[in-house]
Structure 1
Amino acid sequence: MLLSLSSFAQRGTVEIIKDPRIDTLIARRFAPTRGAGNTNSTYSSLGYRVQIYNGSNRSDAYIAQAKFQDQYPNIRTYITYREPNFKVRVGDFRTRLEATKMMQELRQWFPLMFIISEKINPPKLDTDTQP
């Protein structure tokens, strides 16, 4: 017996319209990670922060953080402690140029600053979809 199968298909075009931020999120999700035990690797990437304080006095670290947040309330700040020093770092800059610009703006308030390369948090996405 000879069995003949035929299939019918429709031809046409499909247009996909999507937000370009989706490609960015997908690229971050599948980016290679450094280090095997890192659980935050899919939510962070390498970037730069500006260190505005380094010292052993805890209250001075919080004062430096508050002083920065008064001037720049929308930029994240991070306080870390590694014995015996507290460090206050600001920003999540993707490029060294962005960090350098911030450092120049802060010169008058914080004379001793450094640009630190480390894992940064992704920027906040604007999810407001109101017209």
Structure 2
Amino acid sequence: MRIVLFLFWMGWMHFAQASDSIIVRKDQRLDLLTAKQAQINKRSAMMTSNGQYKGYRIQVISTTNRDQAFKVKTELLSRFPDQKSYTSYQSPLFKVRIGNFLKKEDAEQFRKTLNRFYPKGVYVVEDVIEYTITDDEDLLQ
């Protein structure tokens, strides 16, 4: 009896393995959906939890002297009118930062320009930036 059951089981296993075949047909729209989702994920990775963008700014000065900080900010506005400058106070320091850069490379390039005017203490810092992404902008680069 055991032999008969064993032979029956072996025959069934052989038949089960022989008839296994799966045909997968991929919808072409799946590639478009995957690319769109990758772009959404890229945008989400660049954002903070409250919907602002993570990026870089250049810190030009960090001083306890308020007048000096505002003097540097005024100079930055006159020399670089196309860039926004920001003054923040974190006790006891006034910090003056400039720019809104998504990529660190862009911030480093602008920092080199700033080094001609401010040779000491100019460096790139991570910060929440003001940025608006257009729909046609490609973030996958």
Question: Is this a same-fold pair by TM over 0.5?
Answer: yes
**Of the candidates 80, 90, 99, which is equivalent to residue 91 of structure 1?**
99
Deviation of 1:122 after TM superposition, in Å, equals 0.5
Q: Which amino acid aligns with 1:79?
A: T
The runs of 5 or more residues in structure 1 that have no matched partner are 1-22, 36-40, 126-131
Give the secondary structure class of the aligned counterpart of 1:31: helix
Give the TM-score of the pair, scaled to structure 1.
0.63
| Equivalenced residues, count | 94
Task: Note if contact 1:92-1:123 (Cα within 8 Å) is conserved in structure 2.
Answer: no
**Of the candidates 57, 66, 81, which is equivalent to residue 73 of structure 1?**
81
Q: Which amino acid aligns with 2:61?
A: Y
Please list the CA deviations of residues 72-115 of structure 1 after superposition, one character each: whole Å capped at 9, or x if unmatched.
Answer: 11211110001110000000001011111111001121122111
Q: Structure 2: how far apart are the matches of 1:124 and 1:98?
A: 17
Give the secondary structure class of the aligned counterpart of 2:44: coil
1:52 maps to 2:60: yes
Q: Give the CA RMSD over aligned residues.
A: 2.5
The runs of 5 or more residues in structure 2 that have no matched partner are 1-35, 135-141
